Amino acid sequence: MFPAPAKMMEGMGVESNASINVILQAMCVMLFTISVITFLARKDEGSIALRAILSGNIMMHLISIPIDWAAFYRGIFTQVSGILPGTVVHIILAVGFILCLKNLKAK
């Protein structure tokens, strides 16, 4: 997404432009930053802050799925092959974060 946003959009069947590329690159930076925050909090044993981080990750992944599929059904994204891998990743990560949240010690 960061080094080749136009290639990513091409995989979804969308013609890219400079505006889309900048938005995708900014989104990539935000996702990377959230990943760093989550990684740095990994040894926390269950604070309110960690619960917030995990809950935010769960929401991000679960809300992203219908957005992508709605775009497909509206004809914005035209390639299922460009959406399906992202959907699988979103589901795997959401389930992982749900399990992590579920397994935290009660505080």
Spans of all domains in the chain: 5-102
The pTM assigned to this predicted structure is 0.84
Mean pLDDT of 97-106: 88
pLDDT tens-digit readout, 28-79? 999 999 999 999 998 898 999 999 999 999 999 999 999 999 999 999 999 9
Would you state the structure tokens that stand for residue 73, as one six-digit string? 């059904």
Distance CA 12, CA 78 (A): 6
C-alpha Rg value of the chain to the nearest Å = 16
Residue 10 in tokens: 């091409």
